[in-house]
Structures are given as C-alpha cells and as structure tokens.
C-alpha cells in the first residue's frame, strides 16, 4: 500500500519541485510507472481521455492536498487493470472473477518469460 501511495503521489511531488522548464508532468508520470514497474506492478496509462481529470486532480496538491490525485490515479489504475484481467480471463476461457490479484500473478509470469527469453537471446 505504501508503495502505491508513493507511486500515485510522485507526479505531484515532481510537479511541486518543478525541476525542469518543460516536461515535468511527463517525467512525473514516467516516474510513477518506474515505481510501479520496480515493485512488480503493471504500469498505468494516462491518455487524452484522462487528461482533464488528471489536471483537475493534481491542482489541489499545490495547497498540499494529495487526496484527489491519489484517488484519481488509483481508480484509473484499478479500472484499467480490471479490464485487462477480464480480457485475459475471456481469452483463456475462464469465467471466474478473481480480480487484480490474478492479473498480478499473470503479469509477473509473463514478465519472467520475457526476461528469460531476452537472456537466452544474449547468450
């Protein structure tokens, strides 16, 4: 849980520091996905449909209120990955709804296979 709160708040914290003249939002969102990937979670996609909601949610952080951005990012993430889990179950022919936990296991299994194939091709 602590890792996801860190991930959800990372774009906002970078925005507040504002280390670059341009691209702070993109770097912040890349940092968010780096943190998620680093601890073994699938990444989050924030596209044009989420842009206005993202900007509205990140604005209160200027006054120290991280709640809206944490809520927006976590609900977007959960929504995206529930759909992926559902699609994976349909592709496998399973109707059982075992949630995001099974998605995580499948993601890690697939990631391990990709890493192993990458290692084999270098040998």
Active site amino acids: 18
- For the chain, the C-alpha Rg in angstroms (whole number) is 17
In angstroms, the Cα distances linking 114 to 11, 101, 102, 106 are: 28, 20, 18, 12
Q: What is the dihedral of CA 19, 23, 27, 29, to 10 degrees?
A: 120
Place of tokens 């990709």: 114
């Amino acid at each position: 849980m602590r890792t996801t709160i860190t991930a959800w708040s990372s774009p906002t914290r970078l925005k507040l520091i504002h280390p670059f003249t341009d691209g702070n939002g993109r770097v912040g969102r890349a940092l968010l996905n780096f943190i998620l990937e680093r601890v073994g979670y699938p990444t989050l996609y924030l596209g044009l449909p989420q842009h206005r909601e993202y900007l509205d949610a990140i604005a209160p952080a200027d006054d120290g209120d991280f709640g809206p951005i944490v809520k927006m990012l976590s609900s977007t993430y959960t929504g995206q990955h529930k759909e992926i889990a559902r699609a994976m179950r349909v592709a496998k022919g399973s109707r059982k709804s075992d949630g995001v936990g099974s998605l995580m296991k499948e993601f890690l299994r697939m990631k391990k296979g990709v890493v192993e194939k990458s290692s084999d091709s270098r040998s």
